[in-house]
């Protein structure tokens, strides 16, 4: 006899929304890659956050600097946070690996307050993209629970090359988490647990 479990209507609704959002997201991601493109090696990206109380016009706390790079040409990226973002720098500069300015930059747009923002521009292989944003809550406030911990992800649109034809195509990286900022005021040397 097959046992059927009765699901709560709210839980069913949540599951349906999650499934629908996942489906739409997957369609969006897949549609960027050309049909039949041979799988290229997934690009690697990484970056970190730093507290920034010196953004002109932004009263602390809440100001943050972010930087990241990828082993591919970056054409755009989204910054997503589990805290409400209420400011972002509209022009983002790109530095090379030695910290020297390049002629590349990104222009950022979005809604605030919201969960994040998006930026378009160009950054060549390995160059470092660095900008600023601010959140409503002090990033160094202690987290109420484990799930309340402050987190920021980046998902980048990168150019890749088909491993068979060598033709370029755009792909979206897996969301990667930026390393949390170090909060020196309360927990010296410890990462922020907001």
Partner 1 sequence: MKNRLRRVGLLSALALVAAAPATVPAVAVAKPTITMSGSTTVAPLAALLARKYLKVCDHCVNFKLLQGGSDIGVADVAAGRVTIGNSSRDPKPSDPGGLVFNKIAHDALCLVSNKANPIAGLDQAGVQAIFGGSVRSWSGVPGAAQTGTIDVFSRTPASGTQDAFQKIFMGSSKMFSGASQKGSNGLVEQSVASDPGGIGYVSLAFTKNVHTIPYKGVDCTLRNAKSGQYGGVRNLYMVTRGAPTGATAKWINWITHSKAASKVIATQWVPLN
Nearer to partner 1, 16 or 164 (CB): 16
| Buried-state track 74-96, b at ≥16 Cβ within 10 A, e below 16 | bbbbbbbbebebebbbeebbbbe
In the shown chain, the binding pattern of residues 24 to 43 toward partner 1, with x for contact by CB under 8 A and - for none, equals: xxxxxx-xx-----------
Q: Is residue 54 part of the contact set for partner 1 (CB under 8 A)? A: no
Options 34, 39, 44, 90; binder of partner 1; rule CB under 8 A: 90
Tell me whether residue 27 or residue 35 sits nearer to partner 1 (CB atom): 27
Nearest-10 Cα torsion for 57, 58, 63, 66: -30
Size of the site for partner 1 (CB under 8 A): 61
Residue 22 sits in the site that holds partner 1 (CB under 8 A): yes
Which of these, 120, 63, 116, 113, lies nearest to 94 by C-alpha position? Answer: 120
Q: Which of 4, 100, 145, 185 binds partner 1 (CB under 8 A)?
A: 100
For residue 193, the minimal CB distance to partner 1 (Å) is: 18
Residue 169 sits in the site that holds partner 1 (CB under 8 A): no
Q: Is 4 in the site for partner 1 (CB under 8 A)?
A: no
Distance of alpha carbon 21 from alpha carbon 87, whole angstroms: 26
Q: Reduced to 3 states, what is the DSSP secondary structure of residue 191?
A: strand
Long-range pairs for 25-33 at CB < 8 Å and ≥24 separation?
A: 29/172, 32/157, 32/169, 32/170, 32/171, 32/172, 33/169, 33/170, 33/171
- Find the part of the chain contacting partner 1 (CB under 8 A) among 39-47, 94-102, 159-167, 181-189: 94-102
105 binds partner 1 (CB under 8 A): yes
CB 88 within 8 A of CB 138: no
Closest separation between CB of residue 23 and partner 1, Å? 8
Smallest distance from partner 1 to CB 107, Å: 5
């Amino acid at each position: 006899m097959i046992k059927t479990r009765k699901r709560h209507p709210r839980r069913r609704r949540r599951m349906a929304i999650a499934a629908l959002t996942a489906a739409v997201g997957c369609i969006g991601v897949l549609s960027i890659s050309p049909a039949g493109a041979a799988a290229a090696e997934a690009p690697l990206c990484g970056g970190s956050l730093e507290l920034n109380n010196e953004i002109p016009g932004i009263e602390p706390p809440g100001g943050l600097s972010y930087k990241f790079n990828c082993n591919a040409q970056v054409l755009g990226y989204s910054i997503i946070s589990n805290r409400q973002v209420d400011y972002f720098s509209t022009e983002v500069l790109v530095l090379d690996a030695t910290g020297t300015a390049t002629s590349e930059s990104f222009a950022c747009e979005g809604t605030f307050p919201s969960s994040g923002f998006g930026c378009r521009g160009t950054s060549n292989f390995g160059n470092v993209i660095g900008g600023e944003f601010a959140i409503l809550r002090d990033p160094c406030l202690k987290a109420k629970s484990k799930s309340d911990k402050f987190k920021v992800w980046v998902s980048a649109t990168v150019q890749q090359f088909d491993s068979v034809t060598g033709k370029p195509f755009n792909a979206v990286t897996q969301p990667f988490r930026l390393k949390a900022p170090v909060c020196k005021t309360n927990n010296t040397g410890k990462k922020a647990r907001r």
